[in-house]
């Protein structure tokens, strides 16, 4: 059984999707930078250990990341999932856990890195939008892509309606991707992810 640490900043529905997918692995901790993150209550109710490292208690990013890194290291996770974790991590922290951090991002990367992805998708008039699970590297939202799910943008979509529909896709691909990594089906070669042939078709999905 491998160990999963999950980092959240808010409602934590992606963390909830991981918990509810009942992977045969241990969730060794849910960590939040935000003491009032709603997801912490869900995790506690599931008897998962929770930790708060409040970024406001730290004078700078380096100090926060050091404390966060020490909390993560003490849990000895095999994988660290950024599930709606809204802090940019320092290169030091990412290097400390190189190859072990994944992130769910609400766009089809490399389009729309950063924030406000749904609004930007509508503004640009893209016809396809979605979400991406990728390994985390020091450049924001640029790490090797593991899986993506896409949907059609409708003429009457709003940022909220897109966010809601993309979130449903996120809940499908994040637990699935996590299982592949923990089962050894993903390798990084030349900064790209190679997947076992048995799961390649499942690493991209499209919903009209
Ligand atoms: C999700 O849509 C996730 O993709 C996004 O925040 C939301 C968190 O929802 N993450 C980012 O924008 C990271 N840059 P959740 O707390 O309900 O899982």
Give residue 55's Cα distance to chain centre: 19
Same domain, 88 and 115: no
- The pLDDT score that the predictor gives to residue 131 is 98
For ligand 1, whether the C-beta of 175 sits within 6 Å is no
Same domain, 42 and 138: no
The rounded distance, in Å, linking the Cα atoms of 101 and 12 is 17
Domain count, the chain: 2
Q: How far is CA 85 from CA 15, 32, 58, 123, 188, in A?
A: 10, 8, 17, 25, 23
Instruction: Let me know whether 90 and 114 are in one domain.
Output: no
Which atom of ligand 1 is found nearest the CA of 85?
Answer: 13
Q: What is the mean pLDDT of residues 146-151?
A: 98
Give 25-42 pLDDT, tens digit per residue: 999 999 999 999 999 999
Among 41, 104, 109, 173, which is best to mutate for testing ligand 1, by the most ligand atoms less than 8 A from CB?
104
Clarify whether residues 114 and 207 are in a common domain.
Answer: yes
Task: Point out the catalytic residue in the list 105, 118, 134, 171.
Answer: 105
Residues 74 and 7 in one domain: yes
Identify whether 105 is a catalytic site residue. yes
Q: Which residues of 83-95 are buried (b: 16+ CB within 10 A; e: fewer)?
A: bbbebebbeebbe
Instruction: Compute and round to an integer the Cα radius of gyration of the chain.
Output: 16
Query: Is the beta carbon of 13 within 6 A of some atom in ligand 1?
Result: yes
Contact 117, 165 (CB under 8 A): no
DSSP symbol at 54: -
- What's the CATH code of the domain at 130? 3.40.50.170
* Measured distance CA(12)–CA(165) in Å, rounded: 16
Whether pLDDT at 208 is above 90: no
Model-level pTM? 0.98
Q: Which atom of ligand 1 is nearest to the CA of 12?
A: 16
167-193: per-residue pLDDT in tens?
999 999 999 999 999 999 999 999 999
38 Cα: distance to centroid of ligand 1 (angstroms): 13
Confidence of residue 102 (pLDDT cuts 50, 70, 90): very high
- CA 123 from chain centre, in angstroms, equals 24
Q: CB under 8 Å, gap of 24 or more: what pairs does 195-200 form? A: 195/146
Whole domain around residue 94: which residue ranges? 1-98
**CA-closest candidate to residue 179, choices 83, 81, 93:** 81
User: Residue 143: which pLDDT band, with cuts at 50, 70 and 90?
Assistant: very high
Domain boundary among 44, 66, 98: 98
What is the spatial distance between Cα 116 and Cα 163, in angstroms, rounded to a whole number?
10
Closest residue CA from atom 7 of ligand 1: 84
């Amino acid at each position: 059984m491998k160990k999963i640490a999950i980092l959240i900043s808010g409602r934590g529905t992606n963390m909830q999707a991981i918990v509810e997918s009942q992977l045969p692995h241990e969730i060794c901790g849910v960590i939040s930078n935000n003491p009032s993150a709603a997801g912490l209550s869900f995790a506690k109710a599931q008897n998962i250990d929770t930790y708060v490292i409040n970024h406001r208690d730290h004078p700078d990013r380096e100090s926060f990341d050091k404390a966060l890194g020490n909390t993560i290291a003490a849990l000895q996770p095999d994988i660290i999932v950024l599930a709606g974790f809204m802090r940019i991590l320092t290169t030091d922290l990412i290097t400390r856990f190189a190859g072990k951090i994944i992130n769910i991002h609400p766009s089809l990367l490399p389009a729309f890195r950063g924030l406000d992805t749904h609004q930007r998708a509508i503004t640009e008039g893209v016809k396809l939008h979605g979400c991406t699970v990728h390994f985390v590297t020091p450049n924001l939202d640029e790490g090797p892509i593991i899986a993506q799910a896409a949907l059609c943008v409708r003429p009457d979509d709003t940022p909220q309606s897109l966010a809601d529909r993309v979130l449903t896709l996120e809940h499908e691909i994040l637990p699935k991707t996590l299982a592949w990594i923990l089962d050894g089906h993903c390798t990084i070669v030349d900064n790209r992810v190679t997947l076992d042939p048995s799961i390649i078709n499942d690493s991209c999905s499209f919903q009209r």
